[in-house]
A and B are shown apart, each in its own frame.
Chain A
Amino acid sequence: MKYVRDISSIILIAGVMVLFNVFVTAPYLYDVVSGAPSKIERWLETYKGWSIYLTGTSLVSALLWYVLSQWFFKLNYWAKSGKRPVWSLLIAPPLLVTAIGIVLTPAAKEGMWLVYFFYFVSALIPYYLGTALFSPSSFKYAPVGSQLLRRWW
């Protein structure tokens, strides 16, 4: 039942990311962003919405990776399994939604680079931390950098 713990942890990371965006980055952006085309609070609702979509997409990618690597990929030795390209490919959906979010978020005059940065963080962190920390043992080193993160785990 290890996979229950892993999947729960992946979901937990995404949940923390959502909370982080709603309660940390959004209030921070209220102070930083200026010149939004609508009321700041309404604009922040758009921001929160997109950051939730991005985190959600990232979560779906991470879970998909987990399901594939737990139940579908066959493996004898991880370094020869050739699954890192699959892992890399699964990062594309969150990045694609990030690009859409950047285009569809009404631009404010000040603070937009920070908004884009938070979008990338929202899209990448849940996927990266979820897969790097909680991939099934057979593929735990497929995510880039996970050899450092999971050397003893």
Chain B
Amino acid sequence: MVATSRRKMIGICDLPTLKRLFTFFLFLVWGVVLTSCSKQVTWPPPPLHSAEFLEDKSIQIQADIYYDATLSMQGFTKPGIATAYAQVLNELEGSITSGWASSVVRFYRFGTKIKELKGRDHLLAITPKFFTDKELLQETLMSTVIDSAKTQHLTVIVTDLFLNNADVTQLVNKLRDKFLARGFAVGIIGVQSEFAGTVYDVGINRDQFEYAGQRPFYVLAVGKHRDIENFYLTLQARILNRLSDTHFLLLSSYFSSAMPTFENGQITLKTDIDEVENIFPHDVIDHRVEQLRIKSKHQSSQIGFSLSRTSLRYAMALNPSAIETELSMRMVGSVNGKDSLVLCDNAAELLTVNGFGLTDSSLQFMLSFNNNENLSEGVYVIQQVVRPKPHVDLMPTWISDWDMDITKLPSWKADTKDFDGQKTLNLKKFAFEMWQTIIQTQSPEILHLFYYLRKE
């Protein structure tokens, strides 16, 4: 009996037994191969989002340059033709023609109404007699300029931007309806120039002050983000970099040259969560999506990211306190026999994003999954959108510095020498309302990412 069992034990090495052993082994491996190839739920990448692309500058451009021909602008021409005002105006046309391979430029002057400037008449805009047309010089109706502007063109407006409250509202509304709601941007180039003349329409009673000294004028540009940027860069190279006090702000829904993705990102922290790549169908790559796995035994999980970004140089400067995150979570489920996404109502308690850091070159944050036990097994699609918060003042300091403090009006009236002509009425209000309008109409995004999560 003992001998038989020993023989059985030892006899595994005779040749027929070995063959059987190998056959068994091969069947075992084949079985495991079939098991390991069993179908797991996959989900395709999300559709592309138009806000993710910043359009290139136009190949050819049609530009309309509007000169404010009201009397309040005349003071910029009296100190002579060597002023910053004159130098900038002399380079406007050149900035268009040298900034694009093909261009058409038309000139207009405006005030109470708009008149086209024929031939080389626009060259007179740096002389006092340009501001003597009685049909124009009464009121600066910039809203009429917006009415006549064409959305396919780059619209450039030279003005002192001296607007009362009603003017601001009317102008912003016109810009919203015609340009901002359609994704266009507005650039504000501010230049301090020599001035000697009368400043009109100060305050609610439209007071006037004689003023001599530095006073800002503005070149507003309305059009596509890249066209405005190119116009500014060309103008800067031609003249602005030789002037002492100039600034530029580009109000647009774009903040970085490309929407940050996980492609050049780093994981800064990973706790009880794994990166995987099997939720996408085979061979599919989309850097907007991070594929993750959480195991049932882990109560909570965290993953931190540091993504690279290249902030647009003249765009609104953002900071972590001025941005907000929207998270939505959907589970891949079967509806009428087809896989589809079912919204999870409890995303807010399951997911949090914190630890936001934002610089010109990077963006950091941490995604936390709380109470994993409340997450049933399956595949989830999580969408994260980061936007600028509304009603947060992100204006650059020069906007505040150049904004006129109208509460000082009584003291200016008491002593006109105190009049602060270096400032612009309602500059900050105009810029801020434009920014708010962009937030409302264009819903700008700083980040638009997805997480595909497999809970096992």
**A contact residues, range:** 20 to 34
| B176 CB, nearest partner CB in chain A, Å | 45
CA A94 to CA B101, docked complex, whole Å: 68
Contact with A along B241-281 (1 / 0, CB 8 A): 00000000000000000000000000000101011111000
Cβ of B276 and Cβ of A39 under 8 Å apart? yes
Tell whether B15 is near chain A: CB-to-CB under 8 Å: yes
Q: Which residues of A contact B298 (CB under 8 A)?
A: 34
Given contacts A34-B272, A34-B295, contact A148 B10 (CB under 8 A): yes
**B contact residues, range:** 20 to 34
Residue of B nearest to A36 (CB): B274
Tell whether B348 is near chain A: CB-to-CB under 8 Å: no
Q: Which of B12, B25, B270, B276 contacts A41 (CB 8 A)?
A: B276
Q: Which residues of B contact A19 (CB under 8 A)?
A: 29
Cβ of A40 and Cβ of B10 under 8 Å apart? no
Tell whether A88 is near chain B: CB-to-CB under 8 Å: no
Contact with B along A115-139 (1 / 0, CB 8 A): 0000000000000000001000000
Cβ of A27 and Cβ of B32 under 8 Å apart? yes
CA A34 to CA B278, docked complex, whole Å: 15
CA A150 to CA B12, docked complex, whole Å: 9
Residue of B nearest to A31 (CB): B456
Q: Which residues of B contact A24 (CB under 8 A)?
A: 28-29, 32
Tell whether A16 is near chain B: CB-to-CB under 8 Å: yes
Cβ of B275 and Cβ of A153 under 8 Å apart? no
Cβ of B274 and Cβ of A34 under 8 Å apart? yes
Q: Which residues of A contact B11 (CB under 8 A)?
A: 152
Cβ of B10 and Cβ of A152 under 8 Å apart? yes
**Which of B58-85 touch A at CB < 8 Å?**
none
Given contacts A39-B277, A40-B275, A41-B277, contact A149 B32 (CB under 8 A): no
Residue of A nearest to B7 (CB): A152
Cβ of B29 and Cβ of A20 under 8 Å apart? yes
Tell whether A81 is near chain B: CB-to-CB under 8 Å: no
Cβ of A35 and Cβ of B270 under 8 Å apart? yes
| A17 CB, nearest partner CB in chain B, Å | 10
| A43 CB, nearest partner CB in chain B, Å | 9
Contact with A along B11-44 (1 / 0, CB 8 A): 1111100100010011011001101100000000
Tell whether B293 is near chain A: CB-to-CB under 8 Å: yes
CA A133 to CA B22, docked complex, whole Å: 13
| A137 CB, nearest partner CB in chain B, Å | 14
Q: Which residues of B contact A35 (CB under 8 A)?
A: 270, 272, 274
Contact with B along A1-40 (1 / 0, CB 8 A): 0000000000010001001100110010001001111111
Tell whether A80 is near chain B: CB-to-CB under 8 Å: no
Given contacts A34-B272, A36-B274, contact A23 B10 (CB under 8 A): no
| B453 CB, nearest partner CB in chain A, Å | 14
Cβ of A153 and Cβ of B25 under 8 Å apart? no
Given contacts A12-B22, A27-B36, contact A150 B13 (CB under 8 A): yes
CA A150 to CA B35, docked complex, whole Å: 35
CA A38 to CA B270, docked complex, whole Å: 10
CA A87 to CA B26, docked complex, whole Å: 29
| B188 CB, nearest partner CB in chain A, Å | 46
Q: Which of A27, A38, A153 contacts B13 (CB 8 A)?
A: A153
| A5 CB, nearest partner CB in chain B, Å | 9
CA A153 to CA B35, docked complex, whole Å: 36
Q: Which residues of A contact B35 (CB under 8 A)?
A: 27
Q: Which of B13, B14, B36, B276 contacts A40 (CB 8 A)?
A: B276
**Which of B287-314 touch A at CB < 8 Å?**
291, 293, 295, 298
Cβ of A16 and Cβ of B275 under 8 Å apart? no
Residue of A nearest to B18 (CB): A133
Cβ of A153 and Cβ of B14 under 8 Å apart? yes
Q: Which residues of B contact A149 (CB under 8 A)?
A: 10, 12-13
Q: Which residues of A contact B275 (CB under 8 A)?
A: 36, 38-40
CA A59 to CA B15, docked complex, whole Å: 21
CA A122 to CA B22, docked complex, whole Å: 17
| B14 CB, nearest partner CB in chain A, Å | 6
CA A16 to CA B25, docked complex, whole Å: 8
Q: Which residues of B contact A27 (CB under 8 A)?
A: 32, 35-36
CA A19 to CA B14, docked complex, whole Å: 24
Q: Which of A16, A39, A40 contacts B29 (CB 8 A)?
A: A16
CA A34 to CA B291, docked complex, whole Å: 14
Residue of B nearest to A27 (CB): B36
Residue of B nearest to A25 (CB): B32
Q: Which of A12, A38, A151 contacts B10 (CB 8 A)?
A: A151
Cβ of A16 and Cβ of B22 under 8 Å apart? yes
CA A41 to CA B293, docked complex, whole Å: 12
| A109 CB, nearest partner CB in chain B, Å | 8
Residue of B nearest to A146 (CB): B13
| A18 CB, nearest partner CB in chain B, Å | 10
CA A106 to CA B400, docked complex, whole Å: 53
The 4 residue pairs across chains A and B that have the minimum distance between CB atoms: A27-B36, A39-B275, A23-B33, A24-B32
Known interface pairs A23-B33, A24-B29; 16 further A-B residue pairs with C-beta atoms within 8 A, sorted by A's residue number? A12-B22, A16-B26, A19-B29, A23-B32, A24-B28, A27-B35, A27-B36, A34-B274, A34-B298, A35-B270, A35-B272, A36-B275, A39-B274, A39-B277, A151-B10, A152-B13
| 18 contacting pairs across A/B (C-beta < 8 A) | A16-B26, A20-B29, A23-B33, A24-B28, A24-B29, A27-B36, A39-B274, A39-B275, A39-B291, A40-B293, A41-B278, A133-B13, A148-B10, A149-B10, A151-B13, A152-B11, A153-B14, A153-B15
